[in-house]
Amino acid sequence: MDFESRVLPELRSVLEVFPSFDLEGNLELSRSLVSNPPIEKSEHVCTTSRMIPGAAGEMLAKIYEPTQRTGAKLPAMLWIHGGGYVMGHPDMDDALCERFVQAAKCVVVSVDYRLAPEHPYPAAINDCYAGLTWMADEAESLGIDLDRIAIAGASGGGGLTAALALMARDKGGPALIFQMPLYPMIDDRNITASSHEITSDSATWNRTNNLAAWNMYLGERTEASEVSPHAAPSRAESLAGLPPTYTCVGQLDLFRDETIEYVARLAKAGVDVEFRLYPGCFHLFEVIVPQAEVSQRASKSYVDAIARALNP
């Protein structure tokens, strides 16, 4: 069966109108297709934007918190937007971040990390680590409980989430209570069955674009170059010591097999992990077709996971 016929009927119609990315041919056009949809802001969430220290100068951070706050310190989450390391902006996830705030009664910080190819690895992960350490350093002014900090992101943001968990472990902090790398982009080698399987131009993320994005992110390198697990978390020798984890992926997602392998390795390393696989679902299905029943089920599952983790 071809890719399109395997997609769930409730998701299939969007494939005919979804604009395909051509990262190598026209990166700027591809970036313009990642829109920041206007949302009806919740009266229960206050959003502020400020410049904070990044790894190489100031960067934008968006801070989402409950409008009505008492003096109590709240749990917090660093959210990392997706875009294959080469696209995206915090604005694209405003609605989702508001949803996290309301469900988990938490503070969410989302950072505008630098993008490749203008800023290849390690720019993005260093910016994310700077954002995490800023959150911890500013815990008092942000009203954050340092014992309840989580990190999360989707796609390329999921890859940065997994990398950030490794970096925080390897550097000795900040301490994390939970990580949620959703359908993460974590293996630059592109050798799994699913990375060869998802090649259709109608796929929302296919092998051609994945190869191009990794090349842009990793920059100039030779055959002998070693790729750090802080760039491609699948290369980590050990996953021991990582925080409890939630992840999910569609069965028709190019990242299916690297996600499943990551889940299995976490479990073998003694890390508590919850995992959901969604048959008939492609990359970003719950974002692109949010009204579908399977999309609502998937997004509710990961929003609930954050709420449970931050409010044990």
Which range is least confidently modeled, 21-35, 61-75, 183-197, 235-249?
Answer: 21-35
194 in catalytic set: no
**pLDDT at site 103:** 98
Average pLDDT on 198-207 reads 94
Residue 1 has pLDDT above 80, yes or no: no
**Residue 117 binned pLDDT confidence (cut-offs 50, 70, 90):** very high
* Cα–Cα distances in angstroms (integers) from residue 19 to residues 7, 37, 82, 217, 280, in the given order: 17, 15, 17, 22, 20
Residues 154-175: what's their mean pLDDT? Answer: 98
Weakest mean pLDDT among 37-46, 60-69, 257-266, 296-305: 37-46
Other Cβ atoms within 10 Å of 291 Cβ, number: 7
What residue has token string 């990390």?
113
- Dist. CA 21–CA 23, nearest whole Å: 6
Torsion of CA 144, 179, 124, 278, to 10 degrees: -130
DSSP string, the chain: --HHHHS-HHHHGGGGTPPPP-TTT-HHHHHHHS--------TTEEEEEEEEEETTEEEEEEEEEESS--SS-EEEEEEE--STTTS--GGGGHHHHHHHHHHHT-EEEEE----TTTS-TTHHHHHHHHHHHHHHHTHHHHTEEEEEEEEEEETHHHHHHHHHHHHHHHHT-S--SEEEEES----TT--SHHHHH---TTSSS-HHHHHHHHHHHH-S--TTPPPPTTT-GGG-S--TTPPPEEEEEETT-TTHHHHHHHHHHHHHTT--EEEEEETT--TTHHHHSTTSHHHHHHHHHHHHHHHHHH--
Share of the chain above pLDDT 70, in %: 98
**Mean pLDDT, residues 175-183:** 98
Q: Which region among 22-31, 32-41, 57-66 has the lowest average model confidence (pLDDT)?
A: 32-41
β-bridge partners, 163:
none
Q: Please determine, for residue 18, whether its predicted confidence score (pLDDT) is greater than 90.
A: no
pLDDT, position 71:
87
pLDDT at position 100 is 98
Q: What is the pLDDT of residues 46-55, one digit of tens each?
A: 999 999 999 9
pLDDT at 224 over 80: no
pLDDT reported for residue 220: 80
- Structure confidence at residue 34 as a pLDDT band (50, 70, 90): confident
Q: Which of 203, 152, 204 is nearest to 182 (CA)?
A: 152
Flag whether pLDDT at 170 surpasses 80: yes
- Is the pLDDT reported for residue 20 higher than 90? no
For 125, 198, 248, the CA distances from 214, given in Å and listed in that order, are 14, 16, 21
Query: Does the annotation mark 30 as catalytic?
Result: no
Catalytic member of 81, 94, 110, 155: 155
191 falls in which pLDDT band (50, 70, 90)? very high
Give the integer Cα–Cα distance in Å for 71 and 89. 31
Determine the average pLDDT of the residues in 243-258: 98
| Residue 39: predicted pLDDT | 76
Q: Are strands 107-111 and 57-66 parallel, antiparallel or unpaired?
A: antiparallel
Q: What's the rounded mean pLDDT across residues 293-304?
A: 98
Determine the pLDDT at residue 127: 98
> Over the chain, what is the mean pLDDT?
95
Which CATH topology does 3-219+230-310 take?
A: Rossmann fold (3.40.50)
With a cut of 90, say whether residue 33 has pLDDT above it: no
Mean pLDDT in residue range 128-141: 98
pLDDT of the residue at 38: 72
Question: Rounded CA gap, 149 and 74, in Å?
Answer: 9
Instruction: Specify whether 94 is catalytic.
Output: no
**What pLDDT shows up at residue 269?**
98
**In the predicted structure, residue 99 carries a pLDDT above the cut 80:** yes
From 81, 119, 230, 283, the catalytic residue: 283
